[in-house]
Structure 1
Amino acid sequence: MYRLLLKSVKLQLLCIGLLAQLTQQAEQNFYTAGVVEFRQAEGNELLVWQENLAGYLEIIHSTNASATDIIIFPEATLNTIETASFVPAPEQQITPCLDDAQSLVYAEFLVKLSCAARETRKYIVINLSEQQLCSDTPEDTRPCASTGYNIFNTNVVFDRQGAVISRYRKVHLYGEMRNSTFKPETVAFDTDFNVTFGHFICFDIMFEQPTLQLLQQGVKDFVYPSMWFSQLPLLTSVQAQLSWAYANDVNLLAAGASMPKWGSTGTGIFHGRQGTIVSKMVTDAGERRIYVAQVPKYGPDNASQPPVDELELLPRDSASGLLLIKRDELENYKSVRLEQLLPPSSGVSSGLLQHQLCHGFICCNFKLHWRRRQAADETNFSYRLGAFDGWREEQHIDDANYVRNCAIFACTGTSIEQCGLMPDLEQQQAAFSFDNLTIEANYVKSSALLLMPNTLLADLYPLEPADFDWSLRELNNSHAIAARLTLTSPAPHNLLTFAIYGNYFDDVCTYHPNGTTEQNLQCGFKPLDDGATQLQALGVALSLLLALSLTLFN
């Protein structure tokens, strides 16, 4: 009897201790997150999950991960289509570690990761290839594979007890042999440290669904597994992550697949307008490593909490030739070489250049305080000014964005085909330096529009918010927004990109200056004078009538 009583008391004390710990975590102004840069195993697709799982478990149980509340693993680094697993729906409240300990329903890796979350008392976010019977969704009348299964690119979230509390299936597939859901999903989950996370996967970040829907719901923290294929000059991995987090003023926890020879790397934690807390671009053979940081919470009014302990940014690797980087189709831009706009090099070594470049409905206004560098010669890389208004498309990719961009980008030679390439920094230096750069442009409004500052240095990291000023201003009597990006100090000599990126997503309900009144009204755009001209004329007429009546009665 005494032993049972003692055991009961100990259990109560344990529960009280855990409750006190959770209460303290909920009240703190930060949480501790770990994002994983992970090099997946290569080889037999039926067996690679075993090595990948071993790597996941090693990281979860590592000393570096011990302080974390939540860990995020990258996209497509656990299993393959050949080893796709069933995933329980969150409303079923299933804990695979307890409910399927023998892995009779769910794959062994799903069960063991559920157990790892339970053992370490952490939230764990993984990405996997999921299978679901087509018959489970009778409302989906699209053709089913001969196997009878749909295969999804899926995020799975375990809570501290190992239960599956959230599942998100990727909407925007990047040339993947996967299925999309019958209806796009918008998914968020709550935590015991009083933070709600939205989640999406890799290419989804370029689209309105689900990102803008989550933002409109007030979500301020996001988990983001990715296997990103970097592209110059505007869409390398960490460059895009910081740009998105800054523009939306949110916390973004990004975990990147680490396979530089395929073009995949890029991991980081970003705190809205404050910028990078930690980030990593791997340019060698790839790595398996967790990056941990304290992440400030946003308050009830969506204001950022006071900063947590100062964190030292990791040393940046120099970009090597091992990282494969794609190139944007810059031939579609309206562009001009910087040298074509400047006086001959023999006469002037510095100056101020102001130039406007228009393409479609976007006019980009550039202001450059430039200097020719003393070491400049014909082997050095230079710059072009560019403007683009149109669809951003890639071969073999079904989804596309409508974008309007204004950019200064590096070129390794005089032709446009030599732009968007990595300069050989051992052989080339920048032909110009800039004491200041400013880009201004007016963007017509749309039902869905995301304007972002976009920068990149030759080490493949972007400028931080302290290095630039960014402003958006609604123009009076105009369905347009004035965007302005300017440096706060001289540009580093290894600058590759300085740009405003305007994402119109599907370009639905965008104001068209040359469109009909009916078309614009259908999208909520009233005539620019909004009846003011007619009211003013009516006011003048009434004033005249009043004056005339007073004259007659007098």
Structure 2
Amino acid sequence: MVKMLLALARILRTKEVHRLRIIAWKQSNRASANIPEALQYLGSHSSTLNESLNRTRRAVYCICVNFPVPGPIYDDPTDHDGLVLIRDPSIPSHVTRKLVSGFQEFTLVDKEVSCRFRIRMNQRGGQQQYEYRAAAFSGVRSFSGVATGGNRVCAVFACTGDDLESCGRRFKNFSINSTASFEELTIIATVPKPITDTAVQAHDSSYFPVSLDVSIMPLEVKEYTYTEESNGETTNYTFTLNSNKELYTFAVWGRIFERDGLEPTKPLHDSSSVKGFSNILMILIAAFMVFK
């Protein structure tokens, strides 16, 4: 938009700029509808440009398209065989519960985050099957070792095995019917109500519906429902699946900005601590056998 106006100011005379009209669908608060009015102001190139820019800043610039466009483009899942995806390193720090076939309704809690799950799931009967876990998380995660950031999460994600270490991973090769069939899937995330930081005039936290299907694409808007409801000091975010899709991930994913830069949350079951305890125990047993 700025480049377009600068170009107009350079190549057109003042009267020509004043005669310029941009056709919008209807009168609105969109920048595309306000620019024609801005260009009607008398004055020099600079005054016309400044007024146009001021009007643009007051609204989100929107380009209205009234012709067919391609997309989204879905790749065949087999095209992603061998594709390595970045795994969330905070998964071992999540409070989780393994999902079973049939109907289940339960709540997982991690600190100030409460996740209510309502799920009806069945396996499709493929040669290899993903297992699924529900998860709740409130803490700090690492972003590929570059930075850390605060997170609150209520999620359902696929695992290649029974243990948590296998979650957030895919089988090396895609096979048909390897994912579960979700006839019903609703997540209600209850979290502290976002607070406005007056210094930057922005919320201290923000929440999003996150999903990933076997084409490594998010769900389309029509395939889910996402709502927000304030309830005193807390806010409920409800994420509901509207269609039976082959899913790897379905989650309410939140960012807690005040926690950015802190140390990542430790795993709930630190394998290094367990290993260290085992080594000490073996030494004590050996000493006991020697001096017996």
SS in 2 for 1:24: coil
Cα 1:403–1:14 change in 2 (3 A) is closer
Counterparts of 1:209-220 in structure 2 under 5 Å? 220=60
TM-score for the superposition, normalised by structure 1: 0.35
TM-score for the superposition, normalised by structure 2: 0.64
Tell me which residue corresponds to 1:127: none
Identify which of structures 1 and 2 has the higher relative contact order when contacts are C-alpha pairs closer than 8 Å and 6+ apart: 2
Tell me which residue corresponds to 1:498: 250
Of the candidates 337, 340, 356, which is equivalent to residue 107 of structure 2? 356
Tell me which residue corresponds to 1:401: 149
Give the superposition deviation at 1:388.
0.6
In structure 1, what is the Cα distance between the partners aligned to 2:225 and 2:154? 16
Of the candidates 310, 313, 332, which is equivalent to residue 71 of structure 2? 313
2:117 is aligned with 1:366: yes
Cα 1:190–1:437 change in 2 (3 A) is farther
SS in 1 for 2:109: strand
SS in 1 for 2:258: coil
Q: For 1:175-215, what per-residue CA distance to the aligned partner results, in whole angstroms no more than 9, with x for missing partners?
A: xxxxxxxxxxxxxx99779644xxxxxxxxxxxxxxxxxxx
Q: For 1:377-419, what per-residue CA distance to the aligned partner results, in whole angstroms no more than 9, with x for missing partners?
A: 5x2222111111101224642x422111000111122221211
Give the superposition deviation at 1:463.
0.5
Q: For 1:284-321, what per-residue CA distance to the aligned partner results, in whole angstroms no more than 9, with x for missing partners?
A: xxxxxxxxxxx34xxxxxxxxxx743434243223524
SS in 1 for 2:92: helix
SS in 2 for 1:453: strand
- Structure 1, unaligned stretches of length 5 or more? 1-12, 33-164, 166-188, 197-217, 222-250, 252-294, 297-306, 343-350, 509-554
Q: Is the contact between residue 140 and residue 259 of structure 2 (CA under 8 Å) also seen in structure 1?
A: no
Q: Is the contact between residue 194 and residue 206 of structure 2 (CA under 8 Å) also seen in structure 1?
A: no
In structure 1, what is the Cα distance between the partners aligned to 2:99 and 2:162? 10
- Output the aligned Cα RMSD: 3.4
Tell me which residue corresponds to 2:239: 485
Give the superposition deviation at 1:22.
4.4
In structure 2, what is the Cα distance between the partners aligned to 1:504 and 1:496? 24
Tell me which residue corresponds to 1:445: 193
In structure 2, what is the Cα distance between the partners aligned to 1:354 and 1:366? 5
Counterparts of 1:126-145 in structure 2 under 5 Å? none
SS in 1 for 2:243: coil
Give the superposition deviation at 1:354.
0.7
Amino acid in the other structure paired with 2:94: Y
Give the superposition deviation at 1:361.
1.4
SS in 2 for 1:406: strand
Of the candidates 18, 21, 24, which is equivalent to residue 22 of structure 2? 24
Amino-acid identity (%): 23
Q: For 1:211-255, what per-residue CA distance to the aligned partner results, in whole angstroms no more than 9, with x for missing partners?
A: xxxxxxx7645xxxxxxxxxxxxxxxxxxxxxxxxxxxxx7xxxx
Structure 1 stretches (4+) deviating beyond 6 angstroms? 29-32, 189-193
2:93 is aligned with 1:332: yes
Counterparts of 1:57-76 in structure 2 under 5 Å? none
Q: For 1:499-534, what per-residue CA distance to the aligned partner results, in whole angstroms no more than 9, with x for missing partners?
A: 0012121159xxxxxxxxxxxxxxxxxxxxxxxxxx
Amino acid in the other structure paired with 2:104: L
In structure 2, what is the Cα distance between the partners aligned to 1:433 and 1:312? 29
In structure 2, what is the Cα distance between the partners aligned to 1:455 and 1:194? 36
Counterparts of 1:93-172 in structure 2 under 5 Å? none
Q: Is the contact between residue 123 and residue 179 of structure 2 (CA under 8 Å) also seen in structure 1?
A: yes
Tell me which residue corresponds to 2:133: 384
- Structure 2, unaligned stretches of length 5 or more? 1-10, 33-48, 196-203, 261-292
SS in 1 for 2:17: helix
Tell me which residue corresponds to 1:68: none
Amino acid in the other structure paired with 1:317: D
Q: Is the contact between residue 31 and residue 59 of structure 2 (CA under 8 Å) also seen in structure 1?
A: no
Tell me which residue corresponds to 2:264: none
